[in-house]
């Protein structure tokens, strides 16, 4: 039977003695600290918050975003809606043990409020890399086959070596009867977030009996998940599968005799739950068979997530409670089998680069190609992300040190959160390792951060220190939740100008690529623009500015000659320069200030390039190499 963690206590921390009738029978006595049972308050506040959010949407001028992305385009009603939802969540949190449905409703509302505006408002695909994945699905639908050994430009070979996500979406496109994933891909963060909610609850309930702690951890996870890996991408699906495997392992792979005192409430933190019942060898073997398809699916979907899963299972095997070497071996063999078959080309290529990247901690932990964000919005987004991460880590550290009984019982979750960190010493993953380590460590970090803000259940410890901690938490919890909300917005939306692309720009790019013959070459500064990989199976790509800033500065001295020297003889080549590329190369620090405009002006003036189409959102230039006759040479 679950303990009622919301038993009221007197101001001294000692429960008042019950009143008695004439026969001496104890009579329930209302506490002075008990809140009135206002059943109408949770739905009223929820409706108010969602109403303010809906009222604010038409006022979001996303088409005129400037240096700060959506931040200075969000009306006051939008910010007010987040404050109202936070206040309502704090109210329902007090009775989370008896009415867990309301915290769930508020968590869903927060997810929608934070991440649904682009899906509701945008008239084009949000985030250029999502259109890249849409292009892969279109190729799968058109070709009807996979070519894992084909050498595809634009680093696209990996997508056909790990095709699970794209074949799944190809099936969904056929099932829904729509033209492409562009119809629904902006809704991916909402769908993936809704699927993640019950998985997080399952994981947290494995270690916490106090529903306040569970829902606060879920709330913090949503606010701290600003890294943007939940768009329509293999990582988003693989992450959900990863959480699913961990939830099953933590609840159903406990070895007999491994709990020790962790099933005795006298040795547990008041908020902790006892270790789940043990399972025998045969039961664990059956569980391995059940989750093996999930592990196989992770390997078919994404190349990095299986490594993260192996790291998590390895640290769990270090504990007596989850010492299941068989599961670890099966997971490792599935990963190795896929890497040596379907993923063999990229796997061997990655092994060849490890000698250069192993041990280079500073470079492996950089963010992006250049690692130097420029411009007010990107710089603010970068700083907000760092502050958010440090806040969660510091809070988690406070709980780990201050609530040692909880740390002891939830040690597996702590170890799983730390497991990805050593990967900094291995590879930079194209400038993405920093974000992936944070993402995979976030579930555990959010749990312990919540433990620092949600004190032990009222009445569990009646000391003066416990009372002080509860009073401090009563102030710290709302302050931290509001601060995390304030940090999420710039971290998630501060670079939104890079992510929203007017439909006219996408149409310009599509026309430019369609003009190229099969085997033609598309040149652009970087691949982060809409429809960049349209017809990627037929057209070659050269994103010539995806290199270090000093090399790009040399390129800008004579960009026409620099590009001409890299174009193979006899190749039809077009240069596409768009508004999104300008914003991206400036924001990511790939080009110096004014570099993109200088590039465009010099290429347009060069006799080596002819303007094919010019538009307020971009320009298309055709390469026109000088013939021997025009250059004065002899035939």
**Per-residue confidence band for 97, with pLDDT thresholds at 50, 70 and 90:** confident
Range 335-356 average pLDDT? 86
The pLDDT assigned to 6 comes to 40
Range 426-431 average pLDDT? 72
Q: Which residue, 584, 459, 560, 577, is CA-closest to 512?
A: 577
Low-confidence winner among 8-22, 398-412, 472-486, 612-626 (lowest mean pLDDT): 8-22
Tens-place pLDDT, residues 118-127: 999 999 999 9
Q: Distance between CA atoms of 367 and 441, rounded to whole angstroms?
A: 17
**Helix (H) or strand (E) run with residue 621 in it:** strand 618-623
The pLDDT assigned to 30 comes to 44
**Per-residue confidence band for 9, with pLDDT thresholds at 50, 70 and 90:** very low
Tens-place pLDDT, residues 187-204: 999 999 999 999 999 999
DSSP for 40-108 reads THHHHHHHHHHHHHHHHGGG--GGG-BTTBTGGGS-HHHHHHHHHHHHHHHHHHTTTTT-THHHHHHHH
The pLDDT assigned to 499 comes to 92
The pLDDT assigned to 447 comes to 97
Q: Collapsing DSSP states into helix, strand and coil, what is residue 573?
A: strand
Average pLDDT, the chain: 87
**Percentage of the chain lying above the pLDDT 90 cut:** 65
Sheet containing 573-578: give its strands across.
540-543, 521-524, 573-578, 618-623, 609-615
The pLDDT assigned to 361 comes to 58
Range 453-463 average pLDDT? 66
**Percentage of the chain lying above the pLDDT 70 cut:** 88
Region for residue 256 given its phi and psi (left: phi exceeds 0; alpha: psi -120 to 50; beta: otherwise): beta
The answer, yes or no, to whether residue 470 has pLDDT greater than 70, is: yes
The answer, yes or no, to whether residue 471 has pLDDT greater than 90, is: no
The pLDDT assigned to 99 comes to 84
The pLDDT assigned to 635 comes to 33
DSSP, res 365? T
The pLDDT assigned to 95 comes to 86
The pLDDT assigned to 363 comes to 60
**Per-residue confidence band for 424, with pLDDT thresholds at 50, 70 and 90:** confident
Q: Distance between CA atoms of 192 and 291, rounded to whole angstroms?
A: 20
The answer, yes or no, to whether residue 21 has pLDDT greater than 50, is: no
**Per-residue confidence band for 367, with pLDDT thresholds at 50, 70 and 90:** low
Q: How many CA atoms lie within 13 A of 85 on its CB side?
A: 27
The pLDDT assigned to 357 comes to 67
The pLDDT assigned to 434 comes to 84
Q: Is the dihedral of CA 583, 587, 589, 595 positive or negative?
A: positive
Tens-place pLDDT, residues 500-537: 999 999 999 999 999 999 999 999 999 888 899 999 98
The answer, yes or no, to whether residue 2 has pLDDT greater than 70, is: no
Range 555-582 average pLDDT? 94
Q: Distance between CA atoms of 621 and 569, rounded to whole angstroms?
A: 17
The pLDDT assigned to 366 comes to 61
The pLDDT assigned to 296 comes to 97
Range 567-579 average pLDDT? 95
Range 262-277 average pLDDT? 85
Tens-place pLDDT, residues 234-245: 999 999 999 999
**Per-residue confidence band for 629, with pLDDT thresholds at 50, 70 and 90:** very low
DSSP for 269-313 reads -TTB-PPPPP--HHHHHHHHHHHHHHHHHHHHH-SSHHHHHHHHH
Low-confidence winner among 99-103, 346-350, 468-472 (lowest mean pLDDT): 468-472
**Per-residue confidence band for 145, with pLDDT thresholds at 50, 70 and 90:** confident
Of the two residues 365 and 474, the one the predictor is more confident about is 474
Q: Distance between CA atoms of 225 and 179, rounded to whole angstroms?
A: 31
The pLDDT assigned to 151 comes to 74
Q: Tokens at residue 515, please?
A: 């003009």
Q: Output phi, psi for 9, to 5 deg.
A: -130, 160
Tens-place pLDDT, residues 32-85: 444 456 788 999 999 999 999 999 999 999 999 988 999 999 999 999 999 999
The pLDDT assigned to 627 comes to 56
Secondary structure in 3-state letters for 186-208: HHHHHHHHHHHHHHHHHHHHCCE
The answer, yes or no, to whether residue 25 has pLDDT greater than 80, is: no
The answer, yes or no, to whether residue 604 has pLDDT greater than 50, is: yes
DSSP, res 572? -
**Per-residue confidence band for 461, with pLDDT thresholds at 50, 70 and 90:** low
């Amino acid at each position: 039977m679950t303990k009622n963690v919301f038993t009221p206590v007197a101001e001294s921390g000692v429960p008042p003695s019950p009143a008695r009738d004439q026969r001496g029978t104890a009579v329930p006595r209302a506490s002075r600290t008990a809140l009135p049972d206002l059943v109408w308050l949770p739905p009223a506040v929820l409706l108010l918050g969602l109403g303010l959010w809906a009222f604010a949407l038409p006022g979001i001028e996303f088409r005129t975003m400037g240096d700060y992305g959506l931040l200075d385009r969000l009306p006051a009603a939008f910010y007010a809606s987040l404050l109202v939802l936070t206040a309502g969540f704090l109210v329902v949190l007090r009775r989370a043990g008896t009415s867990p449905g309301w915290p769930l409703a508020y968590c869903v509302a927060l997810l929608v409020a934070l991440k649904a505006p682009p899906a509701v408002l945008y008239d084009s695909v949000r985030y250029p890399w999502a259109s890249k994945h849409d292009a892969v699905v279109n190729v799968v639908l058109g070709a009807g086959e996979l070519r894992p050994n084909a050498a595809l430009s634009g680093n696209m070979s990996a997508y056909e070596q790990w095709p699970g996500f794209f074949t799944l979406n190809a099936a969904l496109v056929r099932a829904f009867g729509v033209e492409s994933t562009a119809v629904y891909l902006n809704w991916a963060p909402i769908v993936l977030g809704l699927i993640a909610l019950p998985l997080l609850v399952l994981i947290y309930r494995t270690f916490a009996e106090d529903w306040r702690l569970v829902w606060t951890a879920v709330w913090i996870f949503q606010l701290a998940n600003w890294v943007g890996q939940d768009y329509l991408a293999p990582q988003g699906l693989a992450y959900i599968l990863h959480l699913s495997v961990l939830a099953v392992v933590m609840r159903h792979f406990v070895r007999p005799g491994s709990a020790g005192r962790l099933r005795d409430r006298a040795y547990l933190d008041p908020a902790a739950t006892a270790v789940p019942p043990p399972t025998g060898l045969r039961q664990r073997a059956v569980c391995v068979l059940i989750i093996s398809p999930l592990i196989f699916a992770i390997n078919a979907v994404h190349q990095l997530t299986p490594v993260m899963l192996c790291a998590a299972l390895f640290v769990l095997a270090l504990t007596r409670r989850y010492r299941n070497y068989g599961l670890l071996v099966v997971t490792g063999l599935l990963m190795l089998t896929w890497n040596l078959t379907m993923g063999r080309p990229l796997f061997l290529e990655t092994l060849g680069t490890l000698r250069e990247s192993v041990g280079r901690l500073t470079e492996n932990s950089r963010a992006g190609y250049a690692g130097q964000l420029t411009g007010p919005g990107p710089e603010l987004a970068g700083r907000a992300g760092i502050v958010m991460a440090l806040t969660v880590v510091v809070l988690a550290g406070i709980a780990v040190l201050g609530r040692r009984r909880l740390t002891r019982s939830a040690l597996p979750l702590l170890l799983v959160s730390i497991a990805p960190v050593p990967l900094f010493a291995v590879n930079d993953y194209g400038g993405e390792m920093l974000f992936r380590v944070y993402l995979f460590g976030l579930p555990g970090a959010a749990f312990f951060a919540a433990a620092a803000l949600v004190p032990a259940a009222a009445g569990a410890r009646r000391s003066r220190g416990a009372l002080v901690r509860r009073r401090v938490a009563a102030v710290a919890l709302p302050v931290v939740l509001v601060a995390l909300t304030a940090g999420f917005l710039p971290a998630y939306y501060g670079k939104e100008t890079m992510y929203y692309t007017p439909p006219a720009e996408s149409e310009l790019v599509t026309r430019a690529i369609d003009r190229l013959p099969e085997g033609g070459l598309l040149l652009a500064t970087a691949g982060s623009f809409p429809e960049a990989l349209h017809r990627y199976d037929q057209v070659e790509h050269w994103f010539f500015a995806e290199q270090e800033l000093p090399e790009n500065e040399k390129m800008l001295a004579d960009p026409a000659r620099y590009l001409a020297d890299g174009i193979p003889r006899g190749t039809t080549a077009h240069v596409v320069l768009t508004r999104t590329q300008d914003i991206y190369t400036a924001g990511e620090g790939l080009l110096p200030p004014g570099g993109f405009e200088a590039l465009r002006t010099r290429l347009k003036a060069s006799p080596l390039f002819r303007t094919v189409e010019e538009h307020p959102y971009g320009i298309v230039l055709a390469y026109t190499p000088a013939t021997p006759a025009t250059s004065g040479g002899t035939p």
